Amino acid sequence: MNFTGAHILSIEQFERADIQRVFDVADAMEPYALRRRMTRVLEGAILGNMFFEASTRTRISFGCAFNLLGGEVRETTGFESSSITKGESLYDTARVLSGYSDVICMRHPQAGSVAEFAQASRVPVINGGDGANEHPTQALLDLYTIRKELRSRGRGLDGLRIAMIGDLKHGRTVHSLCKLLCLFDKVQVTLVSPRELAMPEYLVEELRKVGHSVVVTDDLPQSISKVDIAYSTRIQEERFSSKEEADLYRGRFRLNQSIYTQYCEPNTVIMHPLPRDSRADANELDNDLNQNPNLAIFRQADNGVLVRMALFALVLDVVDQVDKSARDVGWYNALRTHQG
């Protein structure tokens, strides 16, 4: 893949060598993400952050990553603050805003909308999530997290054992992650969900087509007993026709410390794309897991900055210039000493 000037719209764009390239650059970004060093390599560049659907981590993570490389961020959040409410098309929006930006990150509730926007954009567009379709940067940071967690134990990604749990029908993060896992060898995938919220069949077939072992089940305890990664997801209420329909499935697959101790191997890593739903009737990852050293959800979120910094550096072709504009950080920052 030639990253320079490219849109990042789908995991299907990537080959295994491309993933390794992203991860190598992400590793090199760590001193900047931890504020040990600072760089102004994108000074003067502008990120257009366009989020037409609710977001905390993804939106701020993209902005933080761009700021850490020295660039500036301009944001549009919600349809109500956009001329789309006046009938403006995605084509017109793309033509105008790409004249104001050097790169655009976009989230939109309709599947395929970001790709449609990118066709009219004059600058690279990165998909921050399009409906229930894909979330490519989340899949990249998820796999980067898995790689880091397993590498500390002398393991690689080939032969990975992973359980994906929850709303697998609407969860764009697990859709993209499944596509990404197809680039690796001998992966064992267990898909845990109510039958009505099962992983789309075409993704199950893609996993099997490349030789992966796939088990589809609604039995949580047995599914997490022999895995490296337990990847939990929330019920995607915003994808249902009503709250009442979502409530039918909420709280069905809860993981807490007692269940973890009883069924999981001692080093099973717990992941979640966040936000986790901490309401009493949901609580898919209980707060009593917060002190479990294998709870990787906050390391996962931190890794999102590294991966998104890497993508910006690759797409804007400044990887070899990052260190040239680097200097020491003068202010106090606890990140340099507390990496949790």
Q: Are 114 and 9 in contact (CB under 8 A)?
A: yes
Active site residue 153: no
Q: Rounded to a whole number, what is the distance in angstroms from the first to the last CA of the chain?
A: 34
Residue 70 in tokens:
């020295």
Active site residue 7: no
Query: Among residues 35, 36, 57, 239, which one is catalytic?
Result: 57
Give the DSSP per-residue string, 240-256: SS-HHHHHTTTTSS-B-
Widest distance between CA atoms in the chain: 56
Query: Among residues 59, 108, 135, 175, which one is catalytic?
Result: 135
Distance CA 130, CA 111 (A): 5
Distance CA 17, CA 28 (A): 17
Q: Where are the alpha helices (DSSP H) in the chain?
A: 16-28, 30-33, 57-68, 90-97, 113-120, 136-151, 172-181, 201-209, 220-223, 243-247, 257-263, 297-315
Query: Among residues 59, 107, 108, 147, which one is catalytic?
Result: 107
Count CB-CB contacts under 10 A for residue 102. 19
Active site residue 175: no
Active site residue 233: no
Distance CA 224, CA 71 (A): 42
Q: Is 186 left (phi over 0), alpha (psi -120 to 50) or beta?
A: left
Amino acid at 217: T
Active site residue 57: yes
Catalytic residue annotation: 57-58, 86, 107, 135
